[in-house]
Structure 1
């Protein structure tokens, strides 16, 4: 949305082909909405992204397993859902493209929609997950959370990914070619684009170990600009450090986990802003905390001293954009990779969300708040990231792709 808003302000017509539960969310921002069903419509209207919130809630027990054991029981089912959605909406997307007649198509997803790559116009791929999604022999396998400096488990993880995913990938690639698109690269569920953009700060990237080709361009951040205001609630005006806690809209659906973390944080002298998420009515906050279902995260991050996050790529890159240290409690997908990257670079601490102790969490908070060298390093990194203006860089590149 941030990139689209820059393009809209430049006078371009920006049309979002959005999953149907996003109805009414994009038009008020000045975009055209074209709604897409990824499965038969539910009998009752759903909130935006409700399917995935329910999916995360129902499969949360899988997150307690080592990442290699999740490949067959969680990662593969996610790919199956994504592939099923791509198959279901192919005809809808072709109709939208015929109606809209775009000059350029931009996809921010992890799975191929053949209609987007066969439309006869430039195709731009955005990677908004950890850049290990662009694989390499000298970087850890994606979804593993394995360290960059220890290759001992890499081959085993890759072999298990191959074993659990090859049949699904092969069947999907065959279907993709039947739709007129080129075959998918080996064990990849999406093609590269004519232009490829990815969001991750240079200071945390893997480019030395895995160089990318000339069609790839890094956006150090992509923080959507908003006129929404945020004023610190009076109850949090004074006290210890100010800390932001969020497990994202999906992670916060695990209410038991939210309550466990909140109970531990309540036993500290600090102040907390809490993103309570879709089940906010089931989450009570102690006196040293304030929160609600939705929060203007990019307005809050500049105010805080520390971020406690699930490790989603959006929050990771936004925290670095504003120069904030992190405690990362990874739950699924690329969050393990982000958590490991922040830990091995010294930008934060990685903790097991289901097994951490008060001593570990409170100790991490104390160390990160008192490390003035780290705080200066991250503040300087944030200045560099903001100066690179990822939104306008992406808009410039997209405009060039449209006229190439």
Structure 2
């Protein structure tokens, strides 16, 4: 068997990064080589898993700790916008994100041609929301991985990406698309000029990436997919059923109180942990109940005191090892949290703040796998009612068990690796 080289280029966030690590590990188990193209701040993440990693500048070069601080400050500066409806985040958070994303594509174009020429990949997999022309033009099959919500691939019958709207809210869909296109218009025009300068045709307004003509891998689980006006062609679009990564084992510690009570896991991700006021409110609520809770507070552990005896906080948890052991999860709607809860059959209360968390929150409620909750406009009684429903709703439990069984039977990482190897061998 001829060894092939597979390059992975995830965006600089732990969700996409670790999903690609899982797929890359499965590729190497088949005797091939996996390498990473990486934001400089994530190079050590991939090296820590034993992979070769090549830094690609996605912004003005700065030390990794300064870059991490930049994104932390970016998120924390937008905490007031977390209170807004998704459509009202377009002209602040969403706009600034797209400005940064377009800038990242311009920076990447300086490094990518030389790096690709050196590593000579047989297949390149990109988990991002924007086109990098050098990857499309390198001359080997390229794969788009969609680790965010499935509606990143648009369709007229489903809610627009980032909208958090119900499937049936057609007037809302139209209003969201109109405002998105109006606000994003100048950024999109600038991106199209960049595409044309690099030999690519301009994209329609609102579009920053295209589906790969070779293969597109969606992490979304089939039991919660949208019903589209134009179904996705299975020859080019494959669902990976969550593609849940492995992590180190976790033993639930002893609690000072309620040690036999239902166990919750509360996490808003590494960036969402900056919303300490909300986490403190949830911790105080749990302290008055029969529950126990493990709470991920990120890098803000020193800002917490007077922790109730039925709550344990930490800066990080091996989430895929924790979720199977809990009774319900409260999270922000990040795609890893969304799919891991479904994979392990755990009900979730999603309190979204930005990006596709809004879509996942609506989807978990629409499909009967949990609840969407406003992030701030709730009473203790309303939150406890949702938690109790998660613990006692037998129809929801049956639905989650069926979804979990379906996902666990698929083995998304191995499926992805086989599809990539088949693509490389077919192109040889």
Q: Distance between the aligned counterparts of 1:333 and 1:353, measured in 2?
A: 14
The secondary structure found in structure 1 opposite 2:65 is coil
Determine the C-alpha separation between the residues in 1 that align with 2:145 and 2:339. Answer: 15
- After TM superposition, the structure 1 = structure 2 runs for residues 28-67 of structure 1, keeping only pairs within 5 Å, are 28-42=48-62, 44-46=63-65, 49-67=68-86
1:348 aligns with 2:370: yes
The residue number in structure 1 matching 2:137 is 118
Matching residue of 2:332: 310
Separation in 2, partners of 1:48, 1:328: 28
Q: Distance in 2 between matches of 1:50 and 1:114?
A: 29
Q: How does 1:261-340 map to 2 (within 5 A)?
A: 261-284=282-305, 285-340=307-362
Q: Distance in 1 between matches of 2:93 and 2:310?
A: 36
1:171 equivalent in alignment to 2:171: no
SS at match of 1:26: helix
Separation in structure 2 between the aligned mates of residue 305 and residue 350 of structure 1, nearest angstrom: 17
Counterpart in the other structure of 1:129: 148
Q: CA deviation at 1:181?
A: 3.3
Aligned length in residues: 402
- TM-score when scaled to structure 2? 0.90
Q: Quick one: distance in 1 between partners of 2:382 and 2:150?
A: 28
Moved segments of 4+, more than 6 Å: none
Name the SS for the 1:125 alignment partner.
strand
Query: After superposition, what is the alpha-carbon deviation per residue over 1:318-340, rounded to whole angstroms, capped at 9, x for unaligned?
Result: 11000111101000011111101
Deviation, structure 1 residue 395? 0.8
Cα deviation for residue 128 of structure 1 reads 0.9
Task: Quote how far apart the aligned CAs of 1:186 are.
Answer: 4.0
For residues 191-230 of structure 1, what are the alpha-carbon distances to aligned partners after superposition, in whole Å with 9 as ceiling and x for unaligned?
Answer: 221211111111110145551133111111111123x121
Shift of 1:158: 1.1
For 1:25, the equivalent position in structure 2 comes to 45
Cα root mean square deviation, aligned: 1.7
Aligned-residue offset at 1:267: 2.0
String of CA shifts for 1:64-97, please: whole Å, max 9, x gaps.
1222121111111101011111111211122211
TM-score (norm 1): 0.95
Mean Cα displacement is larger for which, 170-179 or 202-211?
202-211
Shift of 1:48: 7.9
1:239 aligns with 2:260: yes
Q: In structure 1, list runs of 5 or more residues that go unmatched.
A: none
Counterpart position of 2:11: none
Secondary structure of the residue aligned to 1:124 is strand
Partner of 1:204: 224
